[in-house]
Amino acid sequence: MPSDVDTMTGPSGSMMSSGSIASSGSLRAETRPSETADNAAPMRWLSIVGIGEDGAAGLSPAARALVEGAEIVFGGRRHLALAADLVRGEARPWPSPFTGAIEAVAACRGRRVAVLASGDPFFHGVGASLMRTVSPAEIAVIPAPSAASLAVARLGWPLHDVTVVSVHGRDPDLIRPHLHPGRRVVALTSDGTGPARLAALLTETGFGPSRLTVLEALGGPRERVRTATAEMFDLEAIDGLNVVAIEPEALPGARILGRAPGLPDRLFEHDGQLTKREIRAVTLSALSPRRGERLWDIGAGAGSVAIEWMLADPSLSAIAVEVVPERAQRIARNAAAFGVPGLKIVTGEAPAALAGLEPPDAVFIGGGASEPGVIEAGIAALGRGGRLVVNAVTLETETLLIGFHARLGGELVRLSVARASPVGDMTAWRPAMPVTQWSWVAGSATGTGS
């Protein structure tokens, strides 16, 4: 399902978009403190107009006026063709690749510019990219219904109960965390091969019976809706403008990723260097992931902590640092299998391998904590409110943690887990190695954040 450059949409309507300034019926703008007479506001030189497969016929009078009045009109070639009868100024197709397109728009600041976008420009569209360069005070936006809105309308699904995942130009593995029986998922794909790739992934992960509805060219004369199961997927000649509605159905043994931290150890590929699930759950609680934050996972082993950190919210990112190349490769495989292919992996030894990395909001040290300078590097990397968690199983590392706790505060706990195991014809507890955990919050008087 194409996005910024070539995303499927439907006919224009009066629906408001997050970040939109105008509805399709009329233009309006909020008065901001910076827009008073005493503080001259920037001219609203840029119009972002959502257009659907029905072209100019689906645009409101206000949207048509913005396109007709523009000196320059940017858009994908398909969008420009759909609105050709309205374009009076210079038509500028997006460059391919898209890199540099936003700068090209910004360079026209001060002229009357229109951008044609697919559907709702602020829903997996070009609007979000433009807003990184242009302020809200400079734009007027008239959205059309998004591809997801049109798809669920055709199916009779309530949009607020649907999970929308964009795999446009992205790894299809991103769909994996959302495969839960009973959940409804809408996937925005890149092209006509996307539905078959999703079907193969679902079949591979034990979701073969899932129902896939492929909705093509919604809102236009070529609209088509077809259905197949993932395991029996046989749809051909799929239009490049498509979305896939998924109704997951799992076979016994399907890989279903729970929503709480502490996923089963058996789901991870590992060589024994793995933060076990009970310890991992406590560790993630101490790391306290928050929207948009980045984690350093130092001595990452199998990458389980970094992976579960990223699973907590799509906005989270992580960098896994691992000195053993084979383990680094294993982390990459685990990341794909858990649907977080964006996990960054650095092969090298801390603290040297930390040089030049994007700064963290939280640091976990699960291996190599006893190496000189590793804990100190984690402390130094954190800004105020950043969280550091270090786990130790050896007496030597535990001694280090006791010293850091005495000097800096924070919390020092010992975690013990025992599992019931057979002893002859009876059952007894077999304890795992206890873990000493030191957690610390930067900039806090007590090191605990309180």
CATH number (domain holding residue 240): 3.30.950.10
Span 34-41, mean pLDDT? 41
Q: Does 25 have pLDDT greater than 80?
A: no
Q: Could you give the CA distance from residue 3 to residue 125 in angstroms, rounded to a whole number?
A: 5
Let me know if residue 448 belongs to a domain: no
Let me know if residue 26 belongs to a domain: no
Let me know if residue 367 belongs to a domain: yes
Q: Which of 212, 247, 282 is the last residue of a domain?
A: 247
Residues 379 and 425: beta-carbon distance below 8 Å? no
120 and 218 housed in the same domain: no
Helix, strand, coil content of the chain in percent (nearest 5): 30, 25, 50
Q: Which of 91, 125, 145 is the last residue of a domain?
A: 145
Residues 378 and 408: beta-carbon distance below 8 Å? no
Q: What is the pLDDT of residue 42?
A: 56
Let me know if residue 18 belongs to a domain: no
Beta bridge partners of 101: none
Let me know if residue 256 belongs to a domain: no
347 and 424 housed in the same domain: yes
291 and 434 housed in the same domain: yes
Q: Does 97 have pLDDT greater than 90?
A: no
Q: Could you give the CA distance from residue 312 to residue 260 in angstroms, rounded to a whole number?
A: 8
319 and 429 housed in the same domain: yes
Task: Give pairs for 219-226: CB < 8 Å, separation 24+.
Answer: 219/8, 219/9, 219/10, 219/11, 219/52, 219/53, 219/54, 219/58, 219/145, 219/150, 220/52, 220/53, 220/54, 220/55, 221/53, 222/53, 223/53, 225/154
Q: What is the pLDDT of residue 334?
A: 97
64 and 176 housed in the same domain: no
Q: What is the pLDDT of residue 129?
A: 92
291 and 406 housed in the same domain: yes
Whole-angstrom CA distances from 123 to 218, 228, 290 are 16, 27, 22
172 and 127 housed in the same domain: no
202 and 134 housed in the same domain: no
Q: Is pLDDT larger for residue 184 or for residue 447?
A: 184
109 and 218 housed in the same domain: no
Which of 239, 242, 215, 243 shows the shortest CA–CA distance to 227? 215
Whole-angstrom CA distances from 111 to 44, 45, 177 are 9, 6, 45
Tell me the CATH number at 342.
3.40.50.150
Which of 136, 63, 132 shows the shortest CA–CA distance to 101? 132
Q: Could you give the CA distance from residue 361 to residue 388 in angstroms, rounded to a whole number?
A: 9
Q: Environment class of residue 281 by beta-carbon count within 10 Å: exposed (0-12), middle (13-18) or buried (19+)?
A: middle
Q: What is the pLDDT of residue 155?
A: 98
Q: How many CB atoms lie within 10 A of CB 177?
A: 19
Q: What's CA 419's distance to the chain center, in Å? A: 36
Q: How many domains in the chain?
A: 3
Span 325-333, mean pLDDT? 98
Q: Is pLDDT larger for residue 95 or for residue 202?
A: 202
Peptide bond into 97 cis (omega under 30): yes
373 and 270 housed in the same domain: yes
Span 125-138, mean pLDDT? 92
Span 280-293, mean pLDDT? 98
Residues 176 and 198: beta-carbon distance below 8 Å? no
Let me know if residue 132 belongs to a domain: yes
Span 152-177, mean pLDDT? 96
Q: Which of 145, 168, 191 is the last residue of a domain?
A: 145
Q: Environment class of residue 288 by beta-carbon count within 10 Å: exposed (0-12), middle (13-18) or buried (19+)?
A: middle
Let me know if residue 215 belongs to a domain: yes
Q: How many CB atoms lie within 10 A of CB 355?
A: 9
Let me know if residue 17 belongs to a domain: no
Whole domain around residue 156: which residue ranges?
149-247
Q: What percent of the chain has pLDDT over 90?
A: 87
Q: What percent of the chain has pLDDT over 70?
A: 91
Cβ-based neighbours of 179, under 8 Å, separated by 6 or more:
185, 202, 205, 207, 210, 246, 248, 250, 254, 255, 256, 257
432 and 328 housed in the same domain: yes
Tell me the CATH number at 136.
3.40.1010.10
219 and 296 housed in the same domain: no
Give the least confident one: 92-96, 236-240, 295-299, 326-330: 92-96
Q: Does 418 have pLDDT greater than 50?
A: yes
Q: What is the pTM of this model?
A: 0.84
